[in-house]
Amino acid sequence: MPDIPSMNKLLGRGENSFVYHAVVVIFLEFFAWGLLTTPMLTVLHQTFPQHTFLMNGLIHGVKGLLSFLSAPLIGALSDVWGRKSFLLLTVFFTCAPIPLMKISPWWYFAVISMSGVFAVTFSVIFAYVADITQEHERSTAYGLVSATFAASLVTSPAIGAYLSVAYGDMLVVILATAIALLDICFILVAVPESLPEKMRPASWGAPISWEQADPFASLRKVGQDSTVLLICITVFLSYLPEAGQYSSFFLYLRQVIRFTPETVAAFIAVVGILSILAQTVVLGILMRSIGNKNTILLGLGFQILQLAWYGFGSQPWMMWAAGAVAAMSSITFPAISAIVSRNADPDQQGVVQGMITGIRGLCNGLGPALYGFVFYLFHVELINNASSSAIIPGPPFLFGACSVLLSLLVALFIPEHTGPGMRPGAYKKHSNGAQSHSHSPQGSGAEGKEPLLEDSSV
Summarised one tens digit per residue, pLDDT across range 100-129 is 888 888 888 888 888 878 877 877 888 888
- Residue 336 pLDDT: 86
- Residue 223 pLDDT: 59
Distances (CA, A) of 85 to 71, 189, 204: 15, 12, 11
Distances (CA, A) of 197 to 74, 131, 307, 434, 438: 19, 12, 45, 8, 13
- Residue 346 pLDDT: 64
- What is the distance, to the nearest Å, from the Cα of residue 378 to the centroid of all Cα atoms in its chain? 29
Classify residue 193 by its DSSP letter. Answer: P
> Using an 8 Å Cβ cutoff, are 425 and 344 in contact?
no
- Residue 59 pLDDT: 80
What average pLDDT does the segment 373-397 reach?
A: 62
Residue 192: is its pLDDT beyond 70?
yes
- Residue 398 pLDDT: 87
Summarised one tens digit per residue, pLDDT across range 391-441 is 666 788 888 899 999 999 999 998 875 444 334 333 333 333 333 333 333
- Residue 426 pLDDT: 39
Lowest-confidence segment of 1-5, 288-292, 354-358, 431-435 by average pLDDT: 431-435
DSSP string, 349-406: HHHHHHHHHHHHHHHHHHHHHHHHHHHHHTT--SSTTTTTT-SSS-HHHHHHHHHHHH
- Quote the Cα angle for 271-273-279, to 5°: 95
* Residue, of 39 and 296, whose pLDDT is higher: 296
- What is the distance, to the nearest Å, from the Cα of residue 67 to the centroid of all Cα atoms in its chain? 11
- Residue 44 pLDDT: 80
- Residue 302 pLDDT: 94
> Using an 8 Å Cβ cutoff, are 358 and 212 in contact?
no
Query: What distance, in Å, lies between the first and last C-alpha atoms of the chain?
Result: 26
Orientation of helix 215-222 relative to helix 349-377, angle to 10° = 100
Q: How many CB atoms lie within 10 A of CB 429?
A: 15
What average pLDDT does the segment 153-175 reach?
A: 84
Q: How many CB atoms lie within 10 A of CB 186?
A: 16
Reduce the DSSP state of residue 65 to 3 states and report it. Answer: helix
* Residue, of 122 and 211, whose pLDDT is higher: 122
Classify residue 361 by its DSSP letter. Answer: H
Q: How far apart are CA 260 and CA 203, in angstroms?
A: 54
- Residue 351 pLDDT: 65
Task: Label residue 201 by pLDDT band (50, 70, 90).
Answer: low
> Using an 8 Å Cβ cutoff, are 82 and 90 in contact?
no
Q: How many CB atoms lie within 10 A of CB 155?
A: 17
Strand partners, 344: 453
Residue 45: is its pLDDT beyond 60?
yes
- Residue 177 pLDDT: 94
Phi and psi at 344, nearest 5°, equal -110, 150
Model-level pTM greater than 0.75?
Answer: no
Task: Label residue 56 by pLDDT band (50, 70, 90).
Answer: confident
Distances (CA, A) of 358 to 29, 35, 66, 213, 219: 20, 26, 9, 11, 9
Q: How many CB atoms lie within 10 A of CB 205?
A: 6
- Residue 184 pLDDT: 94
* Residue, of 1 and 156, whose pLDDT is higher: 156
Distances (CA, A) of 142 to 85, 333, 340, 380: 21, 9, 12, 37
Three-state SS across 257-307?
CCCCHHHHHHHHHHHHHHHHHHHHHHHHHHHHHCCHHHHHHHHHHHHHHHH
> Using an 8 Å Cβ cutoff, are 63 and 115 in contact?
yes
Strand partners, 453: 344
* Percent of the chain as helix, strand, coil, to the nearest 5: 80, 0, 20
Summarised one tens digit per residue, pLDDT across range 417-426 is 544 433 433 3
> Using an 8 Å Cβ cutoff, are 121 and 86 in contact?
no
Summarised one tens digit per residue, pLDDT across range 149-163 is 777 877 787 788 888
Would you call 367 exposed, middle or buried from its count of C-beta atoms within 10 A (0-12, 13-18, 19+)?
buried
Average confidence score pLDDT of the chain: 74
Q: How far apart are CA 163 and CA 261, in angstroms?
A: 12
Where is mean pLDDT largest: 104-118, 178-192, 257-271, 320-334? 178-192
